[in-house]
Amino acid sequence: MIFALVSLVISAVLLIPYIGWLDKRQIQQYLREEGPKSHAHKAKTPTTGGVCIILSACATVVAWWIYSHGGQKEVLIVVFWGLICGLVGLLDDLAKVKQKGNKGVSGKVRLLIETATGIGLGALLYTRDYSYWLPGGDPTSPMVLVHAAPHHLGPIAFLLMSAFLTAATTNAVNLHDGMDGLAAGTTALVFATMAVLLLGIGNESLAVVAAIMAGAILGFLCWNRNPAAIFMGDTGSLFIGGIMAALVIAGGIVVWFVPLSLIYIAETLSVMAQFSYFRLTKPYTPEKPMSVVALAIYKLTHTLPGQGKRIFRISPLHHHYEAVLGEKGVPEGQVVLYFWLVQLALCLAVLAIFSCWR
């Protein structure tokens, strides 16, 4: 699509002066202490590159809106959804820069805002007319069976799904963004696939938004590929995750998104498993006898002294593979390429099944 190309060019060009502007003001990445030691050289890399993704995507969506004389109102809701999440990410990045550390906005506050955003904007979607959503306007179409339009689920289930997907997707993409070009490459593939899916079910407006997002991210990737000249920061990862969740919910492609997001699911589960196992394996003798369940809950909810065991070298999962493969001489860029290839395989598999199902 021409608008995807426009978004790509705007993003890539905007980043040229923006990187210089960030360098002059020393708006740099602050690495977490428990992160890979091999990333020490990245500490002074400019961050908040997601600002250019946001500007290019939003400017192109507006241009398309004017060109097409207005599309479905769901487009505005989807973009607003992403902007709220992106704003939270920007505040988080700026807090880290101000504190000169890796602790920004509280995780609980972020989760609360993301969940509230999912509920609030999900409520707006629920009031919309979804007659356009039915493939060919036929409620008996087999395609309807694998979608989740609001009026099929009911208000409570739909709002819960909106809240969960918004919080889960934004945080999963944020966790995934840990190597040069990693999140940019996989999310560009996901958005491109979503554009095809949405176009296939007849939702051209949301398909255009997905294609524009793919273009904006590819433009950013021109400067984020290894060795990265800039990082997207939480500004970019939360915006991308927020608008991705919004497109999935508004477009009713939740079932298709599950296999598309397997890498993000694995990344999130690796962090949860690592955290839980580390705490559960810490040595602790309670003063009073406790049941196995009570002891496990106590260990998970209290910060105890001592060292526990780890399942992975380091989490999230991409850092584990980076460490293991790095010992065998595999460079970071090649590890990222492997993740891209896995994501590409997932995208092609989903499109193949989607084509057969139709």
Transcribe 196-225 into DSSP letters: HHHHHTT-HHHHHHHHHHHHHHHHHHHHHS
d(CA 78, CA 194): 14
8-state DSSP, 28: B
**Chain centre distance of CA 291:** 39
Query: Before 316, cis peptide (omega within 30)?
Result: yes
The whole-angstrom separation of Cα 57 and Cα 54 is 5
Does the pLDDT of residue 148 top 70, yes or no?
no
Which pair of structure tokens corresponds to residue 212?
């524009």
Radius of gyration (C-alpha) of the chain in whole angstroms: 21
Query: Across all residues in the chain, what is the average pLDDT?
Result: 87
The pLDDT of residue 124 is: 85
- Structure confidence by residue, pLDDT tens digits, 189-239: 999 999 999 998 888 889 999 999 999 999 999 999 988 999 999 999 999
Q: How confident is the model at residue 132 (pLDDT cuts 50, 70, 90)?
A: very low
Tokens of 229: 């000249």
Q: Are 148 and 181 in contact (CB under 8 A)?
A: no
Judge whether residue 347 has pLDDT over 60: yes
% of the chain beyond a pLDDT of 90: 55
| Band (350; pLDDT cuts 50, 70, 90) | very high
Q: What is the pLDDT of residue 142?
A: 45
Residue 285, pLDDT score = 83
pLDDT band, very low/low/confident/very high, at 97 (cuts 50, 70, 90): confident
Quote the pLDDT of residue 147: 57
